[in-house]
Structure formats: C-alpha cells, structure tokens
Amino acid sequence: MRATGDYLFTSESVSEGHPDKVADRISDTVLDAYLAADPYSRVACETLVTTNRVVLAGEVRGPETVTPDYLIHLARMAIHDIGYDQAGFSWKHAEIHCHLHAQSADIALGVDAAGNKDEGAGDQGIMFGYACRETPELMPAPLYYAHLILRRISELRRNKDKLVEGLLPDAKSQVTLRYVDGQPVGATSIVVSTQHVEGLEQAEIKRMLWPIVESSLPPGWMCPESEFYVNPTGKFVIGGPDGDAGLTGRKIIVDTYGGAAPHGGGAFSGKDPTKVDRSAAYACRYLAKNVVAAGLADRCTIQVSYAIGVSKPLSIYFDLHGTGKDVDEVKLARVVGELMNLSPRGIREHLHLNRPIYVPTSAYGHFGRTPDEEKGTFTWERTDLVPALKSAFGR
C-alpha cells in the first residue's frame, strides 16, 4: 500500500463460522491439545470440513495420551462452540476421522537440536511483518474494520442478542476505504454477507446490520446506503461447510494484513512454533510494530528468510516506505538482530510460544489483537522493545 496519494483500498474478513475458519479452528484445537500435554510437541495438522464430515490429517510427535478419540471429541466441541447444529453440519452428527501420523524422521533430523547444533527451522521460506499508523493497533485500516464488524456481529449472536436474531455462524465482510494523501478518511463501500434462517428477508438483515457496521467505524466514516451491500445474492441460508468445503490455511491474507503488505505464502493454523511459517511471521509483526510504536517510522515492512534445519535467518530486510524518521534501514536490521534472537528457539523463548495459546488466533486475524498477560496470548503484539529501539537511535 502506498504511503502517499489518493486511492481506494479494500480488504476482507471472514467469521469463525466460515468453512475455512472452521478448519483453522479445529487445527489449532489439535495443536493446543498437544502443547497442553507437552510444550515441545511437534504438530502439523490439516483439516478438511464439508457436509457433516471432518477429516484431520498431518504429522505429529507428542504424548500418546493425546489419542485420536480425544482429538475427535475436541473437534466436535470446537464445532459446538462455533455454533453449528444444522442439518448439513452439526456438532452432534458430523462424521469425524483422524488420520494424523508420526512426524517424518527426516524432518526431525533437521529440526531437532543435537550436540553443537541448535534447533533448526522447520522448513525453508520467507516471512513478512508489517505495521502502520492507520489504527491505534498499528494495523491497516481496511482489514482492521472488516474484522471488527464481524467480531461484533459474532459477539451479539453468541450473546443471543435480539438485534441479530436469525443470523447464523457463517459470514464475510469487505471494506473499501478512501485514502487522501496516504491516510484513510472514510468508507466508500461495505459488503456483509451473513448466513441466516429461512424466511429472514434481505431488507430486514440490512436494517439490523446498519447500526452495527456504522458503530464499528470512526464517526462519519459510514458509506452511503446505496453502497452498503448485504447478502448481494438475496439469500444465504445454506452456509458453513454444508455450503462450501473448508480447508486449513486458505485465508492467509485475512489472517495477516488484508493485502496491504506482502505475504511469504505459508499458513499458520495447526503448526507448532518450530514451523517458522508461523513463529517467524509473529516475530516479524512484533518487530515491525515496535519500530512504528517507537516512532522510528510510520510504516514498516520486515522480511526474514530461513532454510530447513538451519537455525539462523538467511536474511533480514527492512523497508520503511520512505516514512523513516532519520533511521538507516541497514542499522535498524542490525539493531533488531541484537535485540531479538531470530533463530526458531530464540523466537519461541522470546515470545513464549510453546503454550496452548493458538485457538484464539484462528479467527479475526493473528495481528492487531490485544495481548492477554494472564492467558499468554498474542505476545507478539507487545511493544516492550520500544525503549531499547529509542535508545539505539538516540530518541
């Protein structure tokens, strides 16, 4: 996304009831079950959901006490928590099959620490982090508000609020914002599609959603009524995995920055923190957010790269998009490398990632969330490096 100029930019979000997010939720439920039993478990869990059927597949290394029957039970409870008890997808009646098997010994050989060899990255790849000043959470505004709209609808639905009576778990949003000189100033169009019970009319759904959407945006940002699109097809009764199959990891742009920043390609859910697809992306967001929070730049993109079995990153790259405050990007890369050990082990220990903290990440984005010190979630959203960064640059 450009730092200057006038333009429109759009991002989308999906609810926890979207088929792909149901799959992400179940995969992260499996991950948390293993990490609760052994913080050093290895997990790469993929989930497929479709009409009254769930399939778990992938590789694990962890305690035998985490049995297939237990994981099937947890998957069923995850579906129940999301709110699915429909004819085509029900927590009570869905067939759930577990095909998880032992992690490849060849992969373990490269990842495990041994002798003088530190723990290596779980795979090769490139990861990105991003932060900007468009919201207090230092996230791109279109994605932030797309998430917020759906989270508020979900909270009302879960609380059985009459304002959203008749709405069901599957939903999507899309927010288009107008930028003037690189800063968002208001919405030009908003799309919300939400599953609903039979007989609920499109006009009634639009009426109930208008105040929720308007209150989710800054004052004066709501789009014209003619540009507020609700269930554009006119009807959305068949939804969730009954309406469309879902797979783990298919919403990587929703999970990160809504297209406002690059993405390395790797998904997050179902992967333990030795997989740098996940842990290094969290570390990059953490560093980018601290750079912006420290006032060193208004926008910051970070890229790191890894090779499977190698502990140190192969490269660290910074782009401040011309918004740096007298900050040399080469020096910045050196400074953050001194402040944080970017090996897989260093990331895990710095951000305390070997804990069952991942289910809350499975919907509404992995970034821009509020850290919970008690639960240990979203540690990568802390800004505890700000004092050291300021000191390093004489601020």
271 marked as part of a ligand binding site? yes
Residue type, 320: L
- Structure letter (DSSP) for residue 64: T
Active site residue 277: yes
Token pair belonging to 105: 């010994």
Token pair belonging to 79: 């579906």
Active site residue 69: no
267 marked as part of a ligand binding site? yes
Helices (H) and strands (E) in the chain, counts: 11, 13
38 marked as part of a ligand binding site? no
Catalytic residue among 59, 137, 161, 214: 59
Q: State how far the Cα of 167 lies from the Cα of 156, in Å rounded to an integer.
A: 10
**Residue 24, φ and ψ in degrees, nearest 5:** -60, -45
Catalytic residue among 123, 277, 298, 319: 277
Q: Give the strand pairing for 95-102 and 53-61.
A: parallel
Active site residue 275: yes
Q: State how far the Cα of 142 lies from the Cα of 29, in Å rounded to an integer.
A: 28
251 marked as part of a ligand binding site? yes
Catalytic residue among 9, 12, 16, 20: 20
Residue type, 226: S
Cβ 26 vs Cβ 49: under 8 Å: yes
Q: State how far the Cα of 269 lies from the Cα of 355, in Å rounded to an integer.
A: 14
Q: State how far the Cα of 235 lies from the Cα of 205, in Å rounded to an integer.
A: 10
372 marked as part of a ligand binding site? no
172 marked as part of a ligand binding site? yes
Catalytic residue among 76, 172, 196, 321: 172
Active site residue 236: yes
Whether the CA torsion 291, 293, 297, 298 is positive or negative: it is positive
174 marked as part of a ligand binding site? no
124 marked as part of a ligand binding site? no
Active site residue 244: yes
Q: State how far the Cα of 393 lies from the Cα of 297, in Å rounded to an integer.
A: 12
307 marked as part of a ligand binding site? no
Active site residue 271: yes
Active site residue 147: no
103 marked as part of a ligand binding site? yes
147 marked as part of a ligand binding site? no
Active site residue 338: no
Catalytic residue among 89, 236, 268, 393: 236
Catalytic residue among 61, 157, 250, 321: 250
3 marked as part of a ligand binding site? no
CA 273 to chain CA mean position, Å? 15
> Where do the DSSP E strands lie in 112-208?
125-132, 167-180, 183-196
Catalytic residue among 251, 285, 289, 348: 251
Catalytic residue among 245, 307, 333, 388: 245
275 marked as part of a ligand binding site? yes
Neighbours of 101 (CB within 10 A): 10
Catalytic residue among 9, 12, 16, 21: 21
288 marked as part of a ligand binding site? no
331 marked as part of a ligand binding site? no
- Structure letter (DSSP) for residue 333: H
Cβ 96 vs Cβ 72: under 8 Å: yes
Active site residue 162: no
- Structure letter (DSSP) for residue 217: S
Neighbours of 122 (CB within 10 A): 27
Q: State how far the Cα of 149 lies from the Cα of 14, in Å rounded to an integer.
A: 10
Catalytic residue among 24, 46, 123, 381: 46
Residue 262: strand, helix, or coil: coil
92 marked as part of a ligand binding site? no
Task: Enumerate the known binding-site residues for Mg(2+).
Answer: 20
Annotated binding-site members for L-methionine: 59, 103, 244, 275
| Annotated binding-site residue numbers | 18, 20, 46, 59, 103, 170-172, 235-236, 244, 250-251, 267, 271, 275
Q: Which residues are catalytic?
A: 18, 20-21, 46, 59, 172, 236, 244-245, 250-251, 271, 275, 277
Binding-site positions for ATP read: 18, 170-172, 235-236, 244, 250-251, 267, 271
Task: Show binding-site residues for K(+).
Answer: 46
